[in-house]
Structure 1
Amino acid sequence: MAKWTGVDSISLTLESDEDTCGIYANGWNRIGVTITVDPTDEHADAMDIDPKHLAGRVWLVDYLTESNLNWKGSSGWCYSNAANEFTAIPDGYSARPEATTEADGARPVSVTFYVYCSPGVNRKSIGAKVKTDSGDIYTSSRSGYSHSKVTLNPRAALTYMRRDVDWDWSRATTKEGSNTKRVTTNAWNYYLSLKATDNYFVTFRAHGHYGDAGYEGLFAYNMPDESRHKKFYGGYVWYSEPHKSGTGEIVNFPRGNDWWDYVNIYDRAYPERYLCFTWVCATTTDFEWDLPNGPITGLKAAYVTRIVAWDRYGNSGTFWVDGNDITYELKIYDHNP
Structure 2
Amino acid sequence: MPTWTSVSSLSVVLESGGKNCDIYANGRNRIAVTVNIEPTDENADPIEVDPKYLFSRIWLIDYVTQAKLAWNWGSDWSYTESPGKFAATPGSSGEHSEVSATEGGIQQVTFYVYCGSGVSNAKSIGVLVKTESDDTVTSSLNGTYNDSVTLNPLTAVAYRKGDVTWDYARTTTVDGGNKQYVTTDAWNYYLSLKSSQNYFVTFSVSNYSNQDGFEGFFSGHIPADDDRSNFYGGYVWPQEPHDSVYYDPYDGHSLGEVVDFPDGNLWCDYARIYDRSYPERYLCFTWVHSTTGGNGWHIPNGPMTNWHAWWTPEIVAYDRYGNSGKFWVDGAEIIGGLSLYDSKP
Interval containing the TM-score (normalised by the shorter chain): over 0.9
1:258, distance to aligned residue in structure 2 (A): 1.2
Structure 2 residue aligned with 1:269: 277
Distance 2:104 2:205 in 1: 45
Note the C-alpha offset of 1:168.
0.5
Match status 1:209 vs 2:217: no
Question: Which residues in structure 2 correspond to 1:167-316 (within 5 Å)?
Answer: 167-244=166-243, 245-316=253-324
Q: 1:289 & 1:307 partners in 2: Cα distance?
A: 30
Q: What SS does the corresponding residue of 2:93 show, helix, strand or coil?
A: coil
Distance 2:42 2:125 in 1: 28
Counterparts of 1:67 and 1:107 in 2: how far apart (Å)? 28
| Map of 1:29 onto structure 2 | 29
Which ranges of structure 2 fall in alignment gaps of 5 or more residues? 244-252
Once the two structures are TM-superposed, the CA of residue 103 in structure 1 deviates from its matched residue by: 4.8
Q: 1:83 is matched by which residue type in structure 2?
A: P
Q: Is the 8 Å Cα contact of residues 23 and 29 (structure 1) preserved in structure 2?
A: yes
For residue 17 of structure 2, give the secondary structure of its aligned residue in structure 1: coil
2:100 match: secondary structure: coil
Which amino acid counterpart does residue 172 of structure 1 have in structure 2? T
Aligned partners of 1:313 and 1:49: how far apart in 2?
34
Within 2, Cα distance between the matches of 1:74 and 1:63?
A: 19
TM-score, normalised to structure 1, is 0.97
1:99 corresponds in structure 2 to 97
What per-residue deviation string (whole Å, max 9, x for no partner) do you get for residues 11-39 of structure 1? 10100111000000000000000001110
Q: SS of 1:227's equivalent?
A: helix
* CA–CA separation in structure 2 for the residues paired with 1:154 and 1:74: 14
Retained in 2: the 8 A contact 1:48–1:106?
Answer: no
Cross-structure match for 1:47: 47
Aligned to 1:331: 339
* 8 Å Cα contact 2:227-2:295 kept in structure 1: no
The one-letter amino acid paired with 2:74 is S
Residues 15 and 32 of structure 1 are in contact (CA less than 8 Å); yes or no, is this contact kept in structure 2? yes
SS of 2:303's equivalent in the other structure is: coil
Residue 4 of structure 1 corresponds to which residue in structure 2?
Answer: 4
Aligned partner of residue 47 in structure 2, secondary structure:
coil
Distance 1:47 1:105 in 2: 12
Aligned-residue offset at 1:302: 1.3
| 1:309 partner SS | strand
Does residue 79 of structure 2 align to residue 79 of structure 1? yes
TM-score normalised per structure 2: 0.95
Give 2:279's aligned amino acid: P
Q: In the alignment, what sits opposite 2:250? A: none
Q: CA deviation at 1:336?
A: 1.1
Partner of 1:141: 140
Q: Return 97-106 or 266-275, whichever deviates more.
A: 97-106
Aligned equivalents of 2:104, 2:266: Cα separation in 1: 65
Contact 2:311–2:331 (CA<8 Å) still a contact in 1? yes
How far the C-alpha of 1:44 sits from its partner, in A, is 0.9
Identity score, percent: 51
Equivalent-residue separation in structure 2 for 1:255 and 1:139 (angstroms) = 71
Tell me the matched-pair count. 335
Query: Which SS does the other structure have where 1:327 is aligned?
Result: helix
Question: Which structure 1 residue ranges, 4+ long, deviate > 6 Å from structure 2?
Answer: none
Q: Is the 8 A contact 1:250 1:260 kept in 2?
A: yes
1:285: Cα distance to partner?
1.4
